[in-house]
Amino acid sequence: MKKNLSLIMMAVSLIGCASARTTANTFRGRIIEFKSGAEGFDTRTFFYEGEKDVVAFDSQFTGELARQSIEHLRKFTSKPISWLVITHPNPDKFNGASVFKSMGARIMASNSTVQAMPEVHSYKEYFFVNIAKMFKKEDYPSLTSVDETFEGQTEIVLRGGEKIQLRELSHPGVSSTQSVAYIPSVQALIVGDLIHHRAHAWLEGGIVNGKAKPTIQKWIWALQELVTLYPAETNVFGGRGVNADLKTAASAQINYLNEARALVKSEIKAAKKMKESELKELYKKLTKKFQARFPEYDLAYMIEYSIYGLVQSEIEKK
Protein backbone atom coordinates (compact mmCIF):
# COMPACT_ATOMS: atom_id res chain seq x y z
CA MET A 1 0.00 0.00 0.00
CA LYS A 2 1.04 3.63 -0.32
CA LYS A 3 3.65 4.70 2.21
CA ASN A 4 2.68 8.37 2.31
CA LEU A 5 -1.06 8.05 2.60
CA SER A 6 -2.76 11.25 3.71
CA LEU A 7 -4.11 11.54 7.26
CA ILE A 8 -6.90 13.83 6.12
CA MET A 9 -10.31 12.21 6.25
CA MET A 10 -12.48 12.26 3.16
CA ALA A 11 -16.11 13.33 3.21
CA VAL A 12 -18.49 11.26 5.26
CA SER A 13 -22.20 11.10 4.85
CA LEU A 14 -25.45 10.06 6.49
CA ILE A 15 -27.68 7.64 4.63
CA GLY A 16 -31.02 6.84 6.18
CA CYS A 17 -34.74 7.02 6.17
CA ALA A 18 -36.37 10.41 5.80
CA SER A 19 -38.42 9.44 8.82
CA ALA A 20 -37.27 6.96 11.42
CA ARG A 21 -40.87 5.89 12.09
CA THR A 22 -43.51 4.43 9.83
CA THR A 23 -47.09 5.67 9.77
CA ALA A 24 -47.91 2.93 12.29
CA ASN A 25 -45.40 4.52 14.67
CA THR A 26 -43.09 1.48 14.45
CA PHE A 27 -39.42 2.43 14.70
CA ARG A 28 -37.61 1.46 11.50
CA GLY A 29 -34.16 2.87 12.23
CA ARG A 30 -31.61 4.17 9.79
CA ILE A 31 -28.14 3.52 8.37
CA ILE A 32 -25.35 5.94 9.24
CA GLU A 33 -22.18 5.75 7.15
CA PHE A 34 -18.58 6.65 7.92
CA LYS A 35 -15.93 6.61 5.19
CA SER A 36 -12.21 6.78 5.89
CA GLY A 37 -9.69 8.50 3.69
CA ALA A 38 -6.95 6.79 1.73
CA GLU A 39 -5.03 6.09 4.95
CA GLY A 40 -7.78 3.63 5.79
CA PHE A 41 -8.14 2.43 2.18
CA ASP A 42 -11.42 4.33 1.72
CA THR A 43 -13.21 1.82 3.90
CA ARG A 44 -16.82 2.36 4.91
CA THR A 45 -18.14 1.47 8.37
CA PHE A 46 -21.91 1.31 8.67
CA PHE A 47 -24.02 1.79 11.76
CA TYR A 48 -27.62 0.68 12.08
CA GLU A 49 -29.41 2.87 14.61
CA GLY A 50 -32.30 1.09 16.25
CA GLU A 51 -34.76 2.58 18.74
CA LYS A 52 -32.54 1.96 21.76
CA ASP A 53 -29.09 0.94 20.51
CA VAL A 54 -26.73 0.69 17.55
CA VAL A 55 -25.01 -2.12 15.64
CA ALA A 56 -21.72 -1.39 13.82
CA PHE A 57 -20.47 -3.27 10.77
CA ASP A 58 -16.69 -3.53 10.20
CA SER A 59 -14.26 -1.64 12.37
CA GLN A 60 -11.78 0.21 10.13
CA PHE A 61 -8.03 -0.35 9.63
CA THR A 62 -6.73 1.28 12.82
CA GLY A 63 -7.94 2.15 16.28
CA GLU A 64 -7.74 5.85 15.45
CA LEU A 65 -10.02 5.42 12.45
CA ALA A 66 -12.40 3.33 14.57
CA ARG A 67 -12.56 6.20 17.07
CA GLN A 68 -13.21 8.66 14.26
CA SER A 69 -16.05 6.49 12.98
CA ILE A 70 -17.66 6.52 16.42
CA GLU A 71 -17.16 10.28 16.73
CA HIS A 72 -19.00 10.60 13.43
CA LEU A 73 -21.82 8.41 14.74
CA ARG A 74 -22.15 10.67 17.78
CA LYS A 75 -23.11 13.58 15.54
CA PHE A 76 -26.39 11.75 14.97
CA THR A 77 -27.10 9.65 18.04
CA SER A 78 -25.89 9.03 21.59
CA LYS A 79 -27.35 5.51 21.73
CA PRO A 80 -24.90 2.79 22.86
CA ILE A 81 -23.22 0.46 20.38
CA SER A 82 -24.30 -3.04 21.40
CA TRP A 83 -22.59 -5.03 18.65
CA LEU A 84 -19.78 -4.88 16.11
CA VAL A 85 -20.22 -7.34 13.22
CA ILE A 86 -17.15 -8.33 11.18
CA THR A 87 -18.18 -9.33 7.66
CA HIS A 88 -14.93 -10.99 6.57
CA PRO A 89 -11.29 -11.47 7.66
CA ASN A 90 -9.48 -8.46 6.20
CA PRO A 91 -7.61 -6.00 8.45
CA ASP A 92 -9.70 -2.96 7.53
CA LYS A 93 -12.65 -4.91 8.90
CA PHE A 94 -11.20 -6.12 12.22
CA ASN A 95 -8.10 -4.07 13.19
CA GLY A 96 -10.14 -1.41 14.97
CA ALA A 97 -12.31 -3.87 16.91
CA SER A 98 -10.67 -3.21 20.28
CA VAL A 99 -12.02 0.35 20.27
CA PHE A 100 -15.59 -0.87 19.88
CA LYS A 101 -15.06 -3.48 22.58
CA SER A 102 -13.67 -0.86 24.98
CA MET A 103 -16.94 1.04 24.56
CA GLY A 104 -19.05 -1.96 25.53
CA ALA A 105 -19.83 -3.49 22.15
CA ARG A 106 -19.80 -7.27 21.76
CA ILE A 107 -18.00 -8.53 18.67
CA MET A 108 -19.73 -11.00 16.35
CA ALA A 109 -18.30 -12.89 13.36
CA SER A 110 -18.72 -16.23 11.65
CA ASN A 111 -16.67 -19.10 13.00
CA SER A 112 -14.80 -19.30 9.67
CA THR A 113 -13.91 -15.62 9.85
CA VAL A 114 -12.58 -16.01 13.39
CA GLN A 115 -10.49 -19.00 12.35
CA ALA A 116 -8.99 -17.06 9.43
CA MET A 117 -8.21 -13.85 11.31
CA PRO A 118 -4.92 -14.87 13.05
CA GLU A 119 -3.23 -15.88 9.78
CA VAL A 120 -4.48 -12.78 7.98
CA HIS A 121 -3.34 -10.59 10.88
CA SER A 122 0.15 -12.11 10.85
CA TYR A 123 0.46 -11.82 7.05
CA LYS A 124 -0.66 -8.20 7.01
CA GLU A 125 1.36 -7.17 10.04
CA TYR A 126 4.52 -8.46 8.33
CA PHE A 127 3.67 -6.53 5.17
CA PHE A 128 2.78 -3.21 6.77
CA VAL A 129 5.71 -3.32 9.22
CA ASN A 130 8.53 -4.84 7.18
CA ILE A 131 7.70 -4.10 3.55
CA ALA A 132 5.44 -1.04 3.40
CA LYS A 133 7.02 0.28 6.62
CA MET A 134 3.81 2.08 7.54
CA PHE A 135 4.07 0.97 11.18
CA LYS A 136 6.59 0.00 13.79
CA LYS A 137 5.80 -3.48 15.05
CA GLU A 138 4.71 -2.21 18.45
CA ASP A 139 2.29 0.22 16.81
CA TYR A 140 0.50 -2.21 14.54
CA PRO A 141 -3.04 -2.98 15.81
CA SER A 142 -3.23 -6.16 17.88
CA LEU A 143 -5.78 -8.86 17.16
CA THR A 144 -8.91 -8.53 19.29
CA SER A 145 -10.87 -11.56 20.44
CA VAL A 146 -14.38 -12.13 19.10
CA ASP A 147 -17.11 -12.52 21.71
CA GLU A 148 -19.65 -14.57 19.80
CA THR A 149 -19.48 -16.68 16.66
CA PHE A 150 -22.01 -18.37 14.41
CA GLU A 151 -22.18 -20.95 11.66
CA GLY A 152 -24.55 -20.64 8.75
CA GLN A 153 -27.11 -18.15 10.05
CA THR A 154 -27.95 -16.27 13.21
CA GLU A 155 -29.96 -13.26 14.31
CA ILE A 156 -29.16 -10.25 16.47
CA VAL A 157 -32.13 -8.80 18.33
CA LEU A 158 -31.65 -5.23 19.47
CA ARG A 159 -33.01 -3.75 22.68
CA GLY A 160 -35.88 -2.16 20.78
CA GLY A 161 -36.80 -5.47 19.17
CA GLU A 162 -35.26 -4.78 15.74
CA LYS A 163 -33.72 -7.84 14.09
CA ILE A 164 -30.54 -8.19 12.04
CA GLN A 165 -30.11 -11.41 10.09
CA LEU A 166 -26.52 -12.62 9.67
CA ARG A 167 -25.63 -15.22 7.06
CA GLU A 168 -22.35 -16.82 6.04
CA LEU A 169 -22.44 -17.39 2.29
CA SER A 170 -21.73 -20.79 0.78
CA HIS A 171 -18.79 -19.44 -1.22
CA PRO A 172 -15.93 -17.06 -0.43
CA GLY A 173 -15.88 -13.59 -1.91
CA VAL A 174 -13.11 -11.05 -1.66
CA SER A 175 -11.53 -13.13 1.13
CA SER A 176 -11.55 -16.77 2.22
CA THR A 177 -15.02 -16.48 3.79
CA GLN A 178 -17.87 -13.99 3.59
CA SER A 179 -20.82 -13.03 5.76
CA VAL A 180 -23.58 -10.52 5.06
CA ALA A 181 -26.13 -8.76 7.26
CA TYR A 182 -29.73 -8.11 6.23
CA ILE A 183 -31.80 -5.53 8.10
CA PRO A 184 -35.47 -6.06 7.18
CA SER A 185 -36.77 -2.85 8.78
CA VAL A 186 -34.84 -0.69 6.31
CA GLN A 187 -34.38 -3.36 3.60
CA ALA A 188 -30.61 -2.93 3.77
CA LEU A 189 -27.91 -5.49 2.99
CA ILE A 190 -24.41 -4.97 4.43
CA VAL A 191 -21.94 -6.96 2.30
CA GLY A 192 -18.42 -5.82 3.22
CA ASP A 193 -16.11 -5.87 0.19
CA LEU A 194 -18.14 -8.49 -1.65
CA ILE A 195 -19.44 -5.57 -3.72
CA HIS A 196 -17.62 -2.36 -4.63
CA HIS A 197 -20.22 -0.64 -6.78
CA ARG A 198 -18.53 1.78 -9.19
CA ALA A 199 -15.20 1.32 -7.38
CA HIS A 200 -12.36 -1.04 -8.22
CA ALA A 201 -12.27 -4.31 -6.31
CA TRP A 202 -9.54 -5.68 -4.03
CA LEU A 203 -8.26 -8.67 -6.04
CA GLU A 204 -5.66 -10.06 -3.67
CA GLY A 205 -7.88 -12.90 -2.51
CA GLY A 206 -8.06 -14.59 0.87
CA ILE A 207 -4.88 -15.43 2.78
CA VAL A 208 -4.63 -19.23 2.94
CA ASN A 209 -1.53 -21.11 4.07
CA GLY A 210 0.58 -17.97 3.85
CA LYS A 211 -0.42 -17.10 0.29
CA ALA A 212 -2.94 -14.84 -1.39
CA LYS A 213 -5.59 -17.03 -3.00
CA PRO A 214 -8.25 -15.25 -5.06
CA THR A 215 -11.21 -17.34 -6.20
CA ILE A 216 -13.00 -15.28 -8.84
CA GLN A 217 -15.46 -17.98 -9.85
CA LYS A 218 -16.50 -18.66 -6.25
CA TRP A 219 -16.84 -14.90 -5.70
CA ILE A 220 -19.25 -14.82 -8.65
CA TRP A 221 -21.17 -17.76 -7.17
CA ALA A 222 -21.44 -15.86 -3.87
CA LEU A 223 -22.95 -12.90 -5.71
CA GLN A 224 -25.39 -15.16 -7.53
CA GLU A 225 -26.34 -16.65 -4.17
CA LEU A 226 -27.13 -13.19 -2.82
CA VAL A 227 -29.58 -12.56 -5.64
CA THR A 228 -31.50 -15.73 -4.75
CA LEU A 229 -31.64 -14.90 -1.05
CA TYR A 230 -32.83 -11.28 -0.92
CA PRO A 231 -35.30 -9.05 -2.78
CA ALA A 232 -33.91 -7.45 -5.96
CA GLU A 233 -34.72 -3.96 -4.69
CA THR A 234 -32.73 -4.42 -1.46
CA ASN A 235 -30.32 -1.54 -0.92
CA VAL A 236 -26.73 -2.83 -0.92
CA PHE A 237 -24.12 -1.16 1.27
CA GLY A 238 -20.64 -2.25 0.16
CA GLY A 239 -17.31 -1.69 1.84
CA ARG A 240 -16.36 0.82 -0.85
CA GLY A 241 -18.08 2.56 -3.73
CA VAL A 242 -21.69 3.73 -3.81
CA ASN A 243 -24.98 2.15 -2.81
CA ALA A 244 -27.31 0.51 -5.32
CA ASP A 245 -30.14 -1.99 -5.45
CA LEU A 246 -29.09 -5.63 -5.22
CA LYS A 247 -29.96 -6.56 -8.79
CA THR A 248 -27.92 -3.70 -10.24
CA ALA A 249 -24.99 -4.02 -7.85
CA ALA A 250 -24.59 -7.80 -8.12
CA SER A 251 -24.85 -7.78 -11.92
CA ALA A 252 -22.25 -5.01 -12.22
CA GLN A 253 -19.87 -6.78 -9.82
CA ILE A 254 -20.13 -10.07 -11.70
CA ASN A 255 -19.37 -8.27 -14.97
CA TYR A 256 -16.40 -6.56 -13.34
CA LEU A 257 -14.96 -9.83 -12.05
CA ASN A 258 -15.33 -11.56 -15.40
CA GLU A 259 -13.58 -8.66 -17.10
CA ALA A 260 -10.86 -8.62 -14.44
CA ARG A 261 -10.09 -12.27 -15.04
CA ALA A 262 -9.97 -11.75 -18.81
CA LEU A 263 -7.71 -8.68 -18.54
CA VAL A 264 -5.23 -10.53 -16.35
CA LYS A 265 -5.18 -13.64 -18.52
CA SER A 266 -4.40 -11.53 -21.58
CA GLU A 267 -1.29 -10.07 -19.92
CA ILE A 268 0.44 -12.99 -18.20
CA LYS A 269 1.77 -15.03 -21.08
CA ALA A 270 5.35 -14.14 -20.13
CA ALA A 271 4.76 -13.26 -16.49
CA LYS A 272 6.11 -16.56 -15.13
CA LYS A 273 9.59 -15.57 -16.26
CA MET A 274 9.39 -11.99 -15.04
CA LYS A 275 11.58 -10.50 -12.33
CA GLU A 276 9.91 -8.79 -9.37
CA SER A 277 10.60 -5.35 -10.84
CA GLU A 278 8.99 -6.44 -14.11
CA LEU A 279 5.97 -7.79 -12.28
CA LYS A 280 5.50 -4.41 -10.60
CA GLU A 281 5.44 -2.79 -14.03
CA LEU A 282 2.87 -5.37 -15.09
CA TYR A 283 0.69 -4.41 -12.12
CA LYS A 284 0.86 -0.75 -13.18
CA LYS A 285 0.05 -1.69 -16.77
CA LEU A 286 -2.96 -3.69 -15.62
CA THR A 287 -4.11 -0.77 -13.48
CA LYS A 288 -4.21 1.43 -16.59
CA LYS A 289 -6.08 -1.26 -18.50
CA PHE A 290 -8.67 -1.52 -15.72
CA GLN A 291 -9.06 2.25 -15.73
CA ALA A 292 -9.57 2.25 -19.49
CA ARG A 293 -12.12 -0.57 -19.25
CA PHE A 294 -13.99 1.02 -16.31
CA PRO A 295 -13.41 4.78 -16.69
CA GLU A 296 -16.26 5.67 -14.33
CA TYR A 297 -14.87 3.56 -11.47
CA ASP A 298 -13.13 5.09 -8.45
CA LEU A 299 -10.10 3.93 -6.40
CA ALA A 300 -7.75 2.65 -9.11
CA TYR A 301 -4.98 2.21 -6.54
CA MET A 302 -6.89 -0.86 -5.34
CA ILE A 303 -5.84 -2.62 -8.52
CA GLU A 304 -2.15 -1.79 -8.42
CA TYR A 305 -1.73 -2.98 -4.85
CA SER A 306 -3.96 -6.07 -4.97
CA ILE A 307 -3.68 -7.45 -8.48
CA TYR A 308 -0.60 -9.47 -7.57
CA GLY A 309 -2.87 -12.10 -6.03
CA LEU A 310 -4.91 -12.62 -9.18
CA VAL A 311 -1.81 -12.51 -11.40
CA GLN A 312 0.01 -15.14 -9.35
CA SER A 313 -3.03 -17.42 -9.20
CA GLU A 314 -3.41 -17.29 -12.98
CA ILE A 315 0.31 -17.98 -13.47
CA GLU A 316 0.00 -21.09 -11.29
CA LYS A 317 -2.78 -22.38 -13.54
CA LYS A 318 -0.53 -22.29 -16.63
Residue 19, pLDDT score: 37
Per-residue H/E/C for 284-310: HHHHHHHHHHCCCCECCHHHHHHHHHH
The angle at the Cα of 56, spanning 50 to 58, to the nearest 5 degrees, equals 155
Weakly modelled stretches of the chain, pLDDT under 70: 1-26, 270-272, 318
Residue 294, pLDDT score: 98
Bridge partners for 93 per DSSP: none
Question: Cα separations (Å) of 154 from 162, 221, 236, 279?
Answer: 14, 22, 20, 43
Size of the chain, expressed as the number of residues it contains: 318
Bridging pattern class, strands 54-57 and 44-49:
antiparallel
Residue 278, pLDDT score: 86
Going by C-alpha positions, the residue among 212, 196, 2, 221 that lies closest to residue 89 is: 212
pTM above 0.75, yes or no: yes
Domains of the chain: 30-258 (3.60.15.10)
258 touches 293 (CB < 8 A): no
pLDDT per residue as tens digits for the range 7-55? 333 333 444 433 355 444 467 899 999 999 999 999 999 999 999 999 9
Instruction: Determine the Cα–Cα distance for residues 292 and 307; give it in Å rounded to an integer.
Output: 16
252 touches 227 (CB < 8 A): no
Residue type present at position 39: E
Instruction: Determine the Cα–Cα distance for residues 118 and 57; give it in Å rounded to an integer.
Output: 20
User: Could you give the 3-state DSSP secondary structure of residue 63?
Assistant: helix
